Structure 1
Amino acid sequence: MKPTSSAPTHMVLLSESSMQSKMLANLMADRLQLECKLTDNTNQIAHLFSGDQNLLLIDTQHFDLTALRALLQNLQSKVSRLVVALFNVIPSSEQEHLAEWPQVKGLFYLNADHNQLLKGLQSLVAGHLWLPRQVANQLVEQNRRPPMDSGSRQMLTRRELQIMELLADGATNLQIAEALFVSEHTIKSHLYNVFKKIDVKNRLQACNWARNNI
Structure 2
Amino acid sequence: MSYSERQTFLLGSNRLQLELMSLFISDRTNVSCKVISDLAGITCCLDKKHLILYDSKCWKDNLKAEFDSDLKVHLRGSFLVLINVSNNTGIESEALRQGVRGFIYEQDTTDILLKMIHAVLSSELWVSRNVMTDYIQATNKRTPQQNNLLGLTSREIDVLTSITLGRSNEMIAEKLCISPHTVKTHIYRIFKKINVSSRLQAANWSSQHLYL
The Cα of 1:147 is off from its aligned counterpart by: 5.7
Tell me the C-alpha RMSD between the 2 structures: 3.4
5 Å-filtered alignment, 1:66-145, equals 66=62, 69-73=64-68, 74-77=70-73, 80-145=76-141
- Listed one character per residue, the Cα deviations across residues 105-128 of structure 1 (whole Å, up to 9, x for unaligned) are 111221112221111121111221
Letter in 1 for 2:113: L
Letter in 1 for 2:18: S
**Following the alignment from structure 1 to structure 2, what is the Cα–Cα distance between the partners of residues 23 and 75?**
24
User: 2: distance between equivalents of 1:31 and 1:70?
Assistant: 35
The letter of the residue matching 1:28 is I
1:11 aligns with 2:5: no
What are the within-5 Å matches in structure 2 for residues 1-214 of structure 1? 9-16=6-13, 18-42=15-39, 44-47=40-43, 49-66=45-62, 69-73=64-68, 74-77=70-73, 80-145=76-141, 148-149=144-145
Q: Residues of 2 paired with 1:65 and 1:98: CA distance?
A: 13
Q: What 5-or-longer segments of structure 1 have no aligned partner?
A: 1-6, 154-206
Q: Secondary structure at the match of 1:23?
A: helix
Q: RCO greater where, 1 or 2, for CA within 8 Å and sep 6 or more? A: 1
C-alpha displacement of 1:86: 0.6
Identical amino acids, percent of aligned pairs: 19
Q: 2: CA distance between counterparts of 1:146 and 1:47?
A: 34
Q: Which amino acid aligns with 1:125?
A: L
- Separation in 2, partners of 1:126, 1:107: 16
Flag as ranges the 4+ runs of structure 1 deviating above 6 A: 207-211
> TM-score if structure 2 supplies the norm length?
0.58
> In structure 2, the residue corresponding to 1:111 is in which secondary structure?
coil
Whole-Å Cα distance in 2 between the matches of residues 57 and 141 of structure 1? 26
The verdict on how the C-alpha distance between 1:48 and 1:16 changes in structure 2, with shifts beyond 3 A counting, is farther
User: For residue 99 of structure 1, what is the amino acid of its counterpart?
Assistant: A
CA distance in 1, matches of 2:59, 2:18: 15
Q: 1:103 to 1:31 in 2, by over 3 A?
A: farther
Distance 1:119 1:15 in 2: 21
Deviations 1:20-58 (A, max 9, x none): 32111122233331222102334x245253411121111
Q: Deviations over 1:69-96 (max 9, x none)?
A: 4443323235522211011111111432
